[in-house]
Amino acid sequence: MNEGSYVFSQLVRLIHRQSFARIVEIHGGNYRVRSFTCWHQFLCMSFGQLSQRDSLRDVVTCLNAHSDKLFHMGFSSGVNRSTLADANEERNYQIYEDLAKQLISKARKLYQGDLEAISFDNAIYALDSTTIELCLNVFWWAKFREEKAAIKLHTLLDVRREIPCFIHISDGKLHDVNVLDILLFEPEAFYVMDRGYVDWERLFRINTASAFFVVRAKKNLAFERIYSNQVDKKTGLRCDQIIRLKNYKAVTDYPKKLRRIKYYDAENDVTYVYLTNNFKVSADEVVALYINRWKVETFFKWVKQHLRIKRFWGESANAVKTQIWIAVCTFVLVAIAKHQLKSQHSLNEMLQIISVSLFDKTPINQLLNKQALQNKFEQNANQLKMFDL
């Protein structure tokens, strides 16, 4: 990230332009386009995310206010709101979906974290979804209920790296469990889910793929106990059982044995029951796996608070998905920058700093380096103060 470049340019430089060009060519994104290319569209939309703008008009106004700087930020000319709106409506959102997948793959190679209370090295994924409500009169194509519209973000989070490795955008009607039909399961990996994903046929598909699942059991689970392992009840564990399902349909869909673990959370006075097809890891580790599932909830909360995906800048399904995928690209770019710069700031702090510094020419490593800022303040402290007595 070279000195003399704008902060915005330093950040988007993390994207490999030739790889992006290949994606655009595959989808014909620049077909019959004269000047406002897919790259310019991405720059505008990512600027809107990073600067936390509220609308396309807001984005365009801010960019054109700095028209003398646009060329050095990668723009060939000024930006027109209608041109940007048309691009969001018409250009295939899969261009930015594929770009997000490339960036996610790059980020996952950079991040590797250890988890407390878990001794094994298997990949761990948390699967969940979040619903984004929309106005039915505007987003009629996303009808959810009689008087509501909504879309869902189905996300598979790599728990160790805290990076999403799979995102599927659907209308609000799609039940969470159907996403299991889309996923390709990684052998020896753990998939941690809540009770909404209990479907015996689909869970058996995970088992057949030599992968493992940890899922909360439903209250009406019908089973017979085969064997009970000893547990230390001081840790909150209540039982660790080997079970077999009883209902005919359940047995037909899942004919193998399961492991049932009951855990009492004294702090919140809640009892949890987990099911897994792994019989080797300890019961404490199964509990720890499910506790780490909450990282995907934290991810959803962070994205909704700090990225612009609750208020959309276009009305069509293509425009909405384009905005969401570019928001994901923005999140991953900041995560990559955080790792490469070895910044001690949180992602939230980084976004706040970057949002007010996009037109600065300060190198990002200096902008985010707390020690550099501290040294600067210490140097200024030696200067004369205007009102010293």
pLDDT in tens, 81-95: 999 999 999 999 999
CB 163 within 8 A of CB 332: yes
Determine what percent of the chain is predicted with pLDDT higher than 90. 64
Has residue 312 got a pLDDT over 80?
Answer: yes
**Any idea what DSSP says for residue 195?**
G
pLDDT for residue 314: 92
Which of 23-27, 231-235, 366-370 has the least mean pLDDT? 366-370
CB 39 within 8 A of CB 91: no
Q: Which pLDDT band, with edges at 50, 70 and 90, does 116 fall under?
A: confident
pLDDT for residue 371: 41
CB 333 within 8 A of CB 15: yes
pLDDT tens digits, one per residue of 210-243? 999 999 999 899 999 999 999 999 999 999 999 9
Average pLDDT score, the chain: 89
pLDDT tens digits, one per residue of 50-86? 999 989 999 999 999 988 888 888 887 778 999 999 9
pLDDT for residue 346: 83
- Mean pLDDT of the region 315-341: 92
pLDDT for residue 364: 87
pLDDT for residue 120: 87
Q: Which pLDDT band, with edges at 50, 70 and 90, does 342 fall under?
A: confident
Burial (CB < 10 A; 0-12, 13-18, 19+), residue 311, is exposed
The model carries a pTM of 0.86
Please give the single-letter amino acid code of residue 10.
Q
Structure tokens at 360: 């600065």
- Mean pLDDT of the region 17-28: 95
Cα 68 from Cα 360, distance rounded (Å): 14
pLDDT for residue 255: 95
Which of 54-58, 103-107, 201-205, 299-303 has the highest mean predicted lDDT (pLDDT)? 201-205
Has residue 381 got a pLDDT over 50?
Answer: no
- Mean pLDDT of the region 345-366: 88
Has residue 320 got a pLDDT over 90?
Answer: yes
Kindly report the number of other CB atoms within 10 A of residue 29's CB atom. Answer: 23
Kindly report the number of other CB atoms within 10 A of residue 367's CB atom. Answer: 20
pLDDT tens digits, one per residue of 133-176? 998 889 999 988 888 899 999 999 999 888 899 999 998 899 99
pLDDT for residue 246: 93
pLDDT for residue 385: 40
**Helix (H), strand (E) counts: the chain:** 14, 10
Instruction: Quote the distance between the C-alpha of residue 71 and its chain's center.
Output: 31
pLDDT tens digits, one per residue of 349-359? 888 899 899 99
- Mean pLDDT of the region 17-42: 93
Determine what percent of the chain is predicted with pLDDT higher than 70. 94
Q: List the beta strands (DSSP E) in the chain.
A: 124-134, 143-145, 148-158, 163-171, 190-193, 212-216, 223-229, 237-245, 258-265, 270-276
pLDDT tens digits, one per residue of 165-216? 999 999 889 999 999 999 999 999 999 999 999 999 999 999 999 999 999 9
Rounded to the nearest 5°, which phi and psi values hold at 327? -65, -40
Has residue 269 got a pLDDT over 80?
Answer: yes
- First and final CA of the chain: distance in angstroms? 44
pLDDT for residue 126: 96
pLDDT for residue 3: 57
